[in-house]
C-alpha cells in the first residue's frame, strides 16, 4: 500500500492521554487525501526500532480544515498510541496511506442521525455531525459519553455544534465531579431505551452511528435491535474483530452481478488506482494474500480484517467472506458487493475485484 510522508503541522493535547494531530497535505497530494466524513487513515511508524501499522479515524473535514487531522487516545500497553501522544511533535514526518473506509453513508433524503460515541470514538462522529448539520435538511443528535470532565475530547467543537440549528449535543459523564451540569450516567441500554421514543418524534427516518470501545458498541447495537430498530439502519466503526466470530461458523457467500462458474480459482484480478494486477491463487489463500504474493500494490495494513484498508468491490465471480467481517462492513454494504480482501477466499474459477470503485 502506497504511503506518503506527511508533516505534523498542528498538535493539540485534548486530554492528558489524547492528542489531535494535524498533517499538512502538499498541493500535489490534495486529491489523494481528499476524504469523506467518518473515514480513517493507516499510518506506518517505527518505535524503538520496531515497525508498526495502525489505523485512526479522521476527525477533520476537508472543507473546514486546511489539514488532515487524527485524534488518538493512549491505549494501555499501546506503543504506537503512546508514542503519538508523547512524541509526535510539530514538524515530525509520519507516513500515511490514502483515506479509506465506509462508516458514513451520506443520506440522499432528510434523516434524523443519532450518533452515539464513547471515549475516542467521538473522533469520526464530530465531522459526520458537522457535515449533516451544514446540509440544512437533517436532524442530528450527538451523544458523547466519557468518564470525567477532564476526559472530554474535542469539547470546543462539540459545544459549537450544540449551538447549530437542528443539532443537539449531549455530553454525559459516568463519574461526574461536583459542579458538573451536563448529563450524568453511562450511554447504555437503559439510556437508549429511554431516549428512543424522543428520537422517533422527529418523524424522520432514523439512522444510527456507533463508535467507541467494542463493549460499548455491542451493548448499544443490542439495545437498539431489542427496541425494534432495523439492523440496516445501524452502522458501527470498528478496528477489532471478536476472535470467536471468525471460528466455527460458515462464511458469507458473496456473488457478483457478473457471476462465473464454481470451481477452483485460476485467476484473481484486481484494479488499484487504475492499474490492473493478476494472480493465480494457491489453495487456501485469501484474495489479498494471492495478490501480495505477485507484488500487487493493493491497499492493506493488518491483514486480519480489523483495519478495513483492503475494502474492495467484487465485480466478477464469487467469494466466501469471513463472518467476522460484519463487524467492519455493514450487511448492506456486503449486499452491494463490498468485501474485505484479506477475509475473502475465491469460490469461482475467476474473481475480479476493484479497490477504486467504492
Domains and CATH numbers, the chain: 3-97 (2.40.30.10), 112-237 (3.40.50.80), 244-354 (3.10.20.30)
Q: Which three cell numbers stand for residue 334?
A: 456486503
Please report which confidence band the pLDDT of residue 140 belongs to, taking 50, 70 and 90 as the band edges.
very high
Are 345 and 286 in contact, with CB atoms under 8 Å apart? yes
Name 131's Cβ contacts closer than 8 Å, sequence gap at least 6: 37, 61, 104, 106
Of residues 309 and 22, which shows the higher confidence score? 22
Side-chain-side CA neighbours of 57 within 13 Å: the count stands at 25
Give yes or no for residue 138 having a pLDDT over 50. yes
Backbone angles phi, psi at 82, to 5 degrees: -65, -45
- What confidence category does residue 240 fall into, taking pLDDT thresholds of 50, 70 and 90? low
Residue 344 corresponds to which cell in the numbers above?
475473502
Average pLDDT, rounded, for the chain: 90
**pLDDT number for residue 308:** 77
Q: How far apart are CA 256 and CA 287, in angstroms?
A: 15
CA–CA gap between residue 208 and residue 235 (Å, rounded): 6
DSSP code per residue over 75-140: PTT-HHHHHHHHH--TT-EEEEEPPB--S----SS--EEEEEEEGGGHHHHHHHHHHHHHHSS-EE
Q: How far is CA 238 from CA 89, 163, 167, in A?
A: 27, 29, 25
Tens digits of residue pLDDT in 64-103: 777 899 999 999 889 999 999 999 999 999 999 989 888 8
- pLDDT cut 90: percent of the chain above it: 65
pLDDT band at 239, cuts 50/70/90? low
Band of residue 249 on the pLDDT scale cut at 50, 70, 90: low
Tell me what pLDDT residue 109 has.
Answer: 94
pTM above 0.75, yes or no: yes
Nearest to 122 by CA among 47, 216, 27, 251: 216
| pLDDT given at position 244 | 41
Lowest mean pLDDT among 23-37, 190-204, 205-219, 243-257: 243-257
Question: Does residue 235 carry a pLDDT above 50?
Answer: yes
pLDDT category at 127 given cuts 50, 70, 90 is very high
pLDDT band, residue 328 (cuts 50/70/90): confident
Please list, in sequence order, all residues whose beta carbon lies within 8 angstroms of the beta carbon of residue 12, skipping any fewer than 6 positions away. 19, 20, 22
Residue range 120-132: mean pLDDT, rounded: 95
In the predicted structure, residue 352 carries a pLDDT above the cut 70: yes
pLDDT over 70 at 247, yes or no: no
pLDDT at 17: 95
Asked whether residue 145 carries a pLDDT value surpassing 50, the answer given is yes
Amino acid at each position: 500500500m502506497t504511503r506518503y510522508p506527511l508533516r505534523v503541522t498542528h498538535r493539540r493535547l485534548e486530554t492528558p492521554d489524547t492528542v489531535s494531530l494535524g498533517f499538512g497535505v502538499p498541493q500535489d497530494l490534495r486529491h489523494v487525501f481528499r476524504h469523506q466524513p467518518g473515514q480513517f487513515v493507516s499510518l506506518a511508524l517505527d518505535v524503538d526500532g520496531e515497525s508498526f501499522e495502525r489505523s485512526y479515524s479522521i476527525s477533520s473535514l476537508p472543507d473546514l480544515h486546511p489539514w488532515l487531522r487524527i485524534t488518538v487516545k493512549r491505549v494501555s500497553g499501546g506503543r504506537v498510541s503512546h508514542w503519538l501522544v508523547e512524541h509526535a511533535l510539530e514538524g515530525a514526518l509520519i507516513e500515511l496511506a490514502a483515506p479509506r473506509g465506509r462508516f458514513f453513508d451520506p443520506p440522499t433524503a432528510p434523516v434524523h442521525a443519532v450518533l452515539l460515541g464513547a471515549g475516542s470514538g467521538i473522533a469520526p462522529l464530530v465531522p459526520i455531525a458537522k457535515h449533516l448539520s451544514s446540509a440544512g435538511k437533517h436532524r442530528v443528535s450527538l451523544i458523547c459519553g466519557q468518564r470525567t470532565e477532564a476526559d472530554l475530547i474535542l469539547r470546543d467543537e462539540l459545544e459549537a455544534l450544540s449551538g447549530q440549528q437542528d443539532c443537539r449535543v449531549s455530553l454525559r459523564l459516568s463519574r461526574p465531579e461536583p459542579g458538573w451540569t451536563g448529563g450524568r450516567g453511562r450511554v447504555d441500554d437503559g439510556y437508549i431505551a429511554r431516549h428512543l421514543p424522543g428520537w422517533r418524534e422527529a418523524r424522520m427516518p432514523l439512522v444510527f452511528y456507533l463508535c467507541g470501545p467494542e463493549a460499548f458498541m455491542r451493548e448499544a447495537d443490542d439495545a437498539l435491535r431489542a427496541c425494534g430498530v432495523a439492523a440496516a439502519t445501524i452502522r458501527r466503526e470498528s478496528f477489532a474483530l471478536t476472535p470467536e466470530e471468525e471460528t466455527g461458523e460458515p462464511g458469507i457467500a458473496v456473488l457478483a452481478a457478473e457471476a462465473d462458474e464454481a470451481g477452483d480459482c485460476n485467476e484473481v484480478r484486481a484494479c488499484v488506482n487504475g492499474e490492473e494486477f493478476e494472480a493465480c491463487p494457491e489453495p487456501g489463500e485469501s484474495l489479498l494474500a494471492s495478490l501480495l504474493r505477485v507484488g500487487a500494490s493493493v491497499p492493506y495494513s493488518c491483514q486480519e480484517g480489523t483495519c478495513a484498508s483492503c475494502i474492495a468491490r467484487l465485480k466478477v465471480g464469487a467469494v466466501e467472506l469471513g463472518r467476522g467481517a460484519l463487524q467492519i462492513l455493514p450487511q448492506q454494504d456486503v449486499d452491494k458487493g463490498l468485501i474485505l480482501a484479506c477475509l475473502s477466499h475465491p469460490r469461482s474459477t475467476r474473481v475480479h475485484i476493484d479497490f477504486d470503485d467504492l
